Amino acid sequence: MSNMLFDGLFEKADPHKIFADLGSEHYIYYSEVLLQSAAIANVLIEAGVKVGDRVVAQAPKSMDALMLYLASIRVGAVYVPLNTAYTVNEVEYFLRDANPRVFVCDPKQSELYATLAETLDIHLETLGDDPSSAGTLLQKSNEASTEFSNVVRKGGDLAAILYTSGTTGRSKGAMLTQGNLLSNAELLTSYWKFTQRDCLLHALPIFHTHGLFVATNIVLKANASMIFLPRFDIDQIIASLPKATAMMGVPTFYTRLLDDERLTKTLVSNFRLFISGSAPLLAETHTAFEVRTGFRILERYGMTETNMNTSNPYNGQRKPGTVGPALPGVEVRITDSETCTSLAQGETGMIEVRGPNVFRGYWQMPEKTGEELRDNGFFITGDLGYFDEDGYLQIVGRNKDLIISGGYNIYPKEVELALDEDESILESAVIGVSHADFGEAVVAVVVAAKDIPIDKDQILTSISRKLARFKQPRDIFVVDQLPRNAMGKVQKNLLRSQFKSTFIAI
């Protein structure tokens, strides 16, 4: 018997190989990963963690924070990473909901959480990213045994809970099993051709599925290496690119790189793969990046509840504006949201997913689980899309972002694509606002391109030649930047709140 996830990820681990380059000639070897995660596992056991207990972490990105994730898996606990931007009030909700045995926070915030942890009977540890204030967890692990026998866990056992962003209603805790995480790591390692010769440039946060369960797990599964950066810093990225073979990023990574003249084909001559996800990548960015570097970015589609679902192919056509066909072993279908029947190719509807990657349900929310997980195993993603003539998935928006104006359904993505063709617009977000006659009216919020003034009348005239009247924006608002969450997704709920009282002229 084994710990399915941990043993599966470390199946090919070479103890003498570098796992992570931390800069300044500081390297972490696979042998150290095993020893350090074992030491932290012993600290968790000493803190009273038992099989199935939750370990919640809101700590800065560091190699030790990554070791905490692995240690939690080894002891059979359920790892719950939290966005480091969450406030104390937000964290209190997660602590009350997850009811963890241990909570690990930044040493700088320990005083803020001490009373709350005591009230909720939660064991509090601290973990920082500064050697001068590393925290209690590291201090204790330095004195703990580095021998540990992994707790036996099977594929259906919980490994992690990831809370959704909570843009509408209470945040939901997506329950991910050992089998969910391992199956996706195995699939992606193979599909994206990762091997022990790869070195991944890792600048993503590790409280999210992208940086933790996709990037990190793939490196482990492939016995590869990574350059582990605390955050996206353009100078550090530029300095690291020649040493890496692959990078996973969000669209803003690529737009920032394109803004830097140091990005050249020579700089990335050692590369084989650039991957983008977590938010839509503009077709213009895709094209510009290929012109500059010679590489076509591979865009894919995943969710907190499912990890990865679709991907443009490693070998084959990578189509800008699409997220590719379904991954092997994963079923993706498009359905009518009212009748639940499958739609034909080219028709827009609800995206549903079924496969070994799909989560077990929402933590302590059986009714919500029942609403979004069908009896036949399909998960209703809440995303709207269609399959094109080549079988590539095109996402047109979220169901909650759908605009219904005068009885017509309007998909914001279609309008945004038309707007983004204008040279004066860097990017756009289309939302619906209340309208007395139509129920909702289309409004565009745009960011101006450099040194090109926005001419609303010209843009609206241009749009009129591309879209039916009911799809055209009734007004255009210019902002310095669109509000985004930590993974780069535009927060349209904030835009709807900001412009909800806007008067729309008929």
Statement to judge: residues 252 and 372 lie in one domain: yes
Residue 287 confidence (pLDDT): 92
Residue 353 confidence (pLDDT): 98
Statement to judge: residues 358 and 412 lie in one domain: no
Residue 465 confidence (pLDDT): 81
Please give the residue range of the domain that contains residue 126.
25-179
431 in a structural domain: yes
Task: Name, in order, each residue with C-beta under 8 angstroms of 353's C-beta and a sequence gap of 6 or more.
Answer: 303, 306, 309, 330, 331, 332, 378, 379, 381
**Residue where a domain terminates, one of 398, 429, 460:** 398
Statement to judge: residues 489 and 371 lie in one domain: no
Residues 106, 125: Cα–Cα separation, whole Å: 9
| pLDDT over 90 percentage in the chain | 73
> Checking DSSP bridges between strand 425-435 and strand 408-410, what pairing results, if any?
unpaired
432 in a structural domain: yes
φ, ψ (nearest 5 deg) of residue 52: 90, -10
Check pLDDT > 80 for residue 286. yes
Residue 488 confidence (pLDDT): 75
Query: Which residues in 376-392 are b (16+ Cβ under 10 Å) and which e?
Result: eebbbbbbbbbbeeeeb
Residue 167 confidence (pLDDT): 42
The residue to which tokens 């960011």 are assigned: 447
Name the 3-class secondary structure at 397: strand
Query: What is the secondary structure of 96-163 as a DSSP string?
Result: HHH--SEEEE-GGGHHHHHHHHHHTT-EEEE--S-GGG--HHHHHHHHS-S--PPPPB-TTSEEEEEE
Statement to judge: residues 238 and 89 lie in one domain: no
CATH number at residue 411: 3.30.300.30
Q: Encoding tokens for residue 138? A: 């590291």
Helices (H), ranges, 294-329: none
Q: pLDDT tens digits, residue range 292-304?
A: 999 999 999 999 9
> Checking DSSP bridges between strand 54-58 and strand 475-478, what pairing results, if any?
unpaired
Residue 168 confidence (pLDDT): 43
CATH number at residue 158: 3.40.50.980
Residue 407 confidence (pLDDT): 63
Q: What is the mean pLDDT of residues 74-86?
A: 94
Residues constituting the chain? 506
Task: Name, in order, each residue with C-beta under 8 angstroms of 492's C-beta and a sequence gap of 6 or more.
Answer: 398, 401, 412, 429, 431
205 in a structural domain: no
Check pLDDT > 90 for residue 174. yes
DSSP state of 84: T
φ, ψ (nearest 5 deg) of residue 338: -95, -45
The residue to which tokens 């000639």 are assigned: 25
Residue 493 CB burial class (10 angstroms; 0-12, 13-18, ≥19): middle
Residues 389, 346: Cα–Cα separation, whole Å: 7
Statement to judge: residues 264 and 353 lie in one domain: yes
Distance of CA 160 to the CA centre of its chain: 15
Across the beta sheet with 379-387, the strand order is 331-335, 349-354, 379-387, 393-398
Q: What is the mean pLDDT of residues 241-260?
A: 93
Check pLDDT > 60 for residue 155. yes
Q: pLDDT tens digits, residue range 7-19?
A: 999 999 999 999 9
Of residues 1 and 498, the one with the higher pLDDT is 498
The residue to which tokens 């582990």 are assigned: 228
178 and 4 in contact (C-beta within 8 Å)?
yes
Task: Name, in order, each residue with C-beta under 8 angstroms of 89's C-beta and a sequence gap of 6 or more.
Answer: none
Q: What is the mean pLDDT of residues 81-102?
A: 91
Q: Encoding tokens for residue 171? A: 């945040």
Q: What is the mean pLDDT of residues 255-280?
A: 93
Q: Encoding tokens for residue 126? A: 């601290």
User: Nearest CA to 45 among 175, 164, 140?
Assistant: 140
Statement to judge: residues 174 and 95 lie in one domain: yes
Check pLDDT > 90 for residue 29. yes
Count of structural domains within the chain: 3
Distance of CA 447 to the CA centre of its chain: 24
Query: Which residues in 131-164 are b (16+ Cβ under 10 Å) and which e?
Result: eeebbbbbebbeebeeebebbebebebbbbbbbb
Of residues 500 and 35, the one with the higher pLDDT is 35
227 in a structural domain: no
- The residues that bridge with 381 in the sheet, in sequence order, are none
Q: Return the beta strands (E) in 69-108 as ranges.
A: 78-81, 102-105
Distance of CA 385 to the CA centre of its chain: 19
115 in a structural domain: yes
Q: What is the mean pLDDT of residues 154-172?
A: 81
Q: What is the mean pLDDT of residues 475-485?
A: 90
Confidence of residue 496 (pLDDT cuts 50, 70, 90): confident
Q: Encoding tokens for residue 176? A: 């991910």
Residues 461, 457: Cα–Cα separation, whole Å: 6
Q: What is the mean pLDDT of residues 434-438?
A: 67
Count of Cβ atoms closer than 10 Å to residue 74 Cβ: 25
Residue 502 confidence (pLDDT): 63
φ, ψ (nearest 5 deg) of residue 131: -55, -25
Residues 256, 261: Cα–Cα separation, whole Å: 10
**pTM listed for this prediction:** 0.84
Q: pLDDT tens digits, residue range 103-143?
A: 999 999 999 999 999 999 999 999 998 877 889 999 999 99
286 and 238 in contact (C-beta within 8 Å)?
no
Q: pLDDT tens digits, residue range 356-403?
A: 999 999 999 999 999 999 999 999 998 899 999 999 999 887 777 778
Check pLDDT > 60 for residue 505. no
Mean of per-residue pLDDT scores for the chain: 92
Confidence of residue 489 (pLDDT cuts 50, 70, 90): confident
186 in a structural domain: no
Distance of CA 343 to the CA centre of its chain: 28
Task: Name, in order, each residue with C-beta under 8 angstroms of 480's C-beta and a sequence gap of 6 or more.
Answer: 447
Q: Directed axis angle between helix 251-258 and helix 283-293, to 10°?
A: 50
**Residue where a domain terminates, one of 337, 370, 398:** 398
Q: What is the mean pLDDT of residues 416-427?
A: 90
Check pLDDT > 70 for residue 463. yes
Residues 50, 71: Cα–Cα separation, whole Å: 12
18 in a structural domain: no
Residues 462, 442: Cα–Cα separation, whole Å: 16
Statement to judge: residues 160 and 307 lie in one domain: no
Rg (CA), the chain: 23
Residue 436 confidence (pLDDT): 60
Confidence of residue 83 (pLDDT cuts 50, 70, 90): confident
**Residue where a domain terminates, one of 179, 201, 224:** 179
Residues 204, 277: Cα–Cα separation, whole Å: 11
| pLDDT over 70 percentage in the chain | 96
419 in a structural domain: yes
Q: What is the mean pLDDT of residues 235-246?
A: 98
